[in-house]
Amino acid sequence: MEFYDLAFPFKLGPLTYAAPEGLQLSPGALVLAELKKSVKRAVVLGKAGPVPGRVADLKEIKSAVPEGVVLGESLVRLLKWMSEYYLSPEGLVLKAMFGAGLFEKRKRKAARPKAAKPHQPLPVQEIEKSRLNEFLKPEGFGVHLLHAPSTAYERSFIRGAVSGQTGVIVLVPELSRIPIYEPFLREEFGERLCVLHGRLTGAQRADVYEKILSGGADIVLGTRLAVFAPFKRVSMLAVAEEESEHYKNEEYARYNARDVAIKRASVEGAKVLLTSICPGAESFANALRGKYRLLRPARKPIRVRLINSRKTPMKTPSISEGLHRGIMSALEKGAGAVIIANRLGHSVPVCEDCGHLEKCPSCGMAMVYHRPRRALRCAWCGHSKTAFEACPRCRGHNIKFLGSGLERFEDELKKLLPDTPVRTESAAREDGPSDARLVIGTKRAIPRKGRGEVLAAGVINPEGAFFHPDFRARERVFRELCYLADRLTEGGTLYIQTSEPALLKNLKTLDYESFIKAELAERKILGYPPFSKTGLIMVEGPIKKLELPALENVEILGPAMRLIKKGEKASVLMVKASSSKELKEAFPAILKGIKAEKITVDIDPV
DNA sequence: AGCACGCCGACT
DNA sequence: GTCGGCGTGCTC
């Protein structure tokens, strides 16, 4: 009698089953087996070790499923590695990989032909052959990091790298990037290309898997779950915008698809191309210490104007003359301008008579006035209350509005340029794209490239994000500036208007390498990643017990209240260790000391 | 006492 | 994911 360990796509570790006489199974095979009285699909992880308990109590595998071996040896290895690394049961990893349906084809209503999505053609850039060969030449496993001068270069490089290959996975951070990459891949690979992402229905997803398993498709473009595409052979994986936080799965197993891509490549003997106009600190550090090969094409310096709003003449309370001139000059040349302000709402109302300032009862943060709703809102936790007409303390009407949020900024800009059509973020959400050449909004409003020239891009007080309690805050600000600058047409200028120029000293030239080296030096001193490994423990509901062990080389910070999703708060503990082995080994002891309703573990949080 | 419903832990 | 166990609470 043979025994096998099976994984079911649920929060469940491997379970041991007996195989019926004459059924030979290899790892990765799909089978049917009874679980809790009902028959379910499961994946064979391998032959079982010593069977715990009585062999006679084990249930029998019902049958193998015709799809056969769906996972291949390397994907089974990847599954086991993820389970160990992310401290997540094998079943949950399996569910994260292929969904609870496990390749099952449900009957479905007549398939409607999907309409071809309109797309902008990819502006193709000349990529130096020699640079491309630096990536294409080396055989076998290896990670290459392209620090691209622009997103256009990044995309062209991926195009060149993928061309002529077989067994390729191209990962993009978001659904919205698929229409950018699909046209050129489709052009070259036709039906060999398939698109895979989380918004597909179960049946569509099963169709894609069928095409991949039958060998009909060998190029996949998709979001993070496409890293698990069940190819027999993968020769390369490309990860576009590799630093993106969207690669982090926030449910089931909390994996990072970029890191999983590298692991997958290492078990498959494939090569990896990480690309970004602003690589993440971890990846760049790996390149600096020779773990990754760094590809750095020449870049043109970006013209940046830093405007100190405390020292410069102001056109309105929140718009400096310099910024105003920049916008005007872009518009006069027939080009567009994009202005980003990340603070939502209008401003912070303060009573000039008694100095009263409304604070959030739970966070203590100043409440921000939101005019359309006539409400005061806490930017941190979302608590809101009706705005006051008179000062609640002294009844005075002498209210001063401090600071400039997006709403105020929109108002002032419209007043300054009464004849220019402006697309504001609030309007854009309702009306969709407009052809206004002046765009104002948070970073979400940054328009796609290719819709006319942009000669001025401005950002107001980007240092606001520094006050987030997060060691990555500065990196995020820098990245945002890089992506904003990327929208500029050649010859354009990036305007940074700030009231705290001292905080932006290292950022103002947008010199990535100097910035990231300084950042890495600081993280080294403070012991943050990549010089340590971190994991979060998120505790929802009241903590019933908290007894943290003292461990060598492991530091436990917190608990601190944190907003984990909109409106959902949790107590968060951060565990820091000097290596991922130490981190992994510390967790069981730490988790034993915590009792609460719901506890979630997140290794390598972003 | 008798049963409906909901939460929680276990599932080989 | 889903079954059964058990606790709460309402009803005959």
End-to-end distance of chain A based on CA atoms, in angstroms?
A: 47
Among protein residues, the one whose C-alpha sits closest to the C1' atom of C2 is: A36
Query: Partners of A562 in the beta sheet?
Result: A570
Q: Taking a C-beta distance cutoff of 8 angstroms, is the pair A217, A193 a contact?
A: yes
Secondary structure (3-state) at A209: helix
Instruction: Give pTM, 2 decimals.
Output: 0.91
- Helix/strand/coil percentages in chain A, nearest 5: 30, 30, 40
Q: At A204, is the pLDDT very low, low, confident or very high (cuts 50, 70, 90)?
A: very high
Name A458's Cβ contacts closer than 8 Å, sequence gap at least 6: A323, A326, A327, A337, A338, A339, A340, A494, A495, A496, A497
Residue A446: per-residue pLDDT:
72
Give the pair of three-digit tokens for residue A29. Answer: 């095979």
* Strand B neighbors by CB, 7 A: A 10-12, 15-17, 34-36, 52-53, 57-59, 597
Q: Which CATH number fits domain A3-98: 3.30.70.141, 3.90.110.10, 3.30.1950.10, 3.40.1440.60?
A: 3.40.1440.60
Q: How far apart are CA A308 and CA A468, in angstroms?
A: 22
* Strand C neighbors by CB, 7 A: A 10-12, 35-38, 100
Among protein residues, the one whose C-alpha sits closest to the C1' atom of C3 is: A36
Q: Give the model confidence (pLDDT) of A411-444 as tens digits.
A: 888 888 888 888 876 665 555 556 678 888 887 7
Å separating the CA of residue A461 from the C1' of nucleotide C5: 58
Q: In chain A, which residues fall in CATH 3.40.1440.60?
A: 3-98
- Mean of pLDDT values over A459-464: 87
Å separating the CA of residue A233 from the C1' of nucleotide C2: 36
Q: How far apart are CA A22 and CA A541, in angstroms?
A: 51
Closest nucleotide over all strands to A3 (CA to C1'): B12
Closest nucleotide over all strands to A40 (CA to C1'): C1
Q: Give the model confidence (pLDDT) of A84-110 as tens digits.
A: 999 999 999 999 999 999 999 876 655
Residue carrying the six token digits 């930017």: A379
Closest nucleotide over all strands to A11 (CA to C1'): C1
Q: In chain A, which residues fall in CATH 3.40.50.300?
A: 129-295, 303-347+403-522
Strand C footprint nucleotides (protein C-beta < 7 Å)? 1-4
Among protein residues, the one whose C-alpha sits closest to the C1' atom of B8 is: A597
DSSP codes, A262-327: HHHHHHHT-EEEEEESS--HHHHHHHHTTSSEEE----PPPEEEEEETTTS-BSSSS-BHHHHHHH
Q: What percent of chain A is predicted at pLDDT more than 90?
A: 62
Angle made by CA atoms A599, A601, A604, in degrees to the nearest 5: 160
Please determine, for residue A72, whether its predicted confidence score (pLDDT) is greater than 60.
yes
Strand B footprint nucleotides (protein C-beta < 7 Å)? 8, 10-12
Which of A73, A64, A169, A185 is CA-nearest to residue A119? A185
Q: What is the CA radius of gyration of chain A?
A: 27
Q: How far apart are CA A421 and CA A443, in angstroms?
A: 20
Task: Decide: residue A451, CB within 10 A, 0-12 exposed, 13-18 middle, 19+ buried.
Answer: middle
- Mean of pLDDT values over A590-602: 86
Domain spanning A129-295, CATH architecture = 3-Layer(aba) Sandwich (3.40)
Å separating the CA of residue A86 from the C1' of nucleotide C1: 22
Give the pair of three-digit tokens for residue A159. Answer: 């195009």
Secondary structure (3-state) at A587: helix
The reply to whether omega before A418 is within 30° of 0 (cis) is no
Give the pair of three-digit tokens for residue A302. Answer: 């970006």
Q: In angstroms, what CA-CA distances link A160 with A25, A135, A357, A382, A538?
A: 40, 10, 57, 46, 42
Please determine, for residue A198, whether its predicted confidence score (pLDDT) is greater than 90.
yes
CATH class belonging to A303-347+403-522: alpha beta
Residue carrying the six token digits 């590695």: A81
Residue carrying the six token digits 């691209």: A148
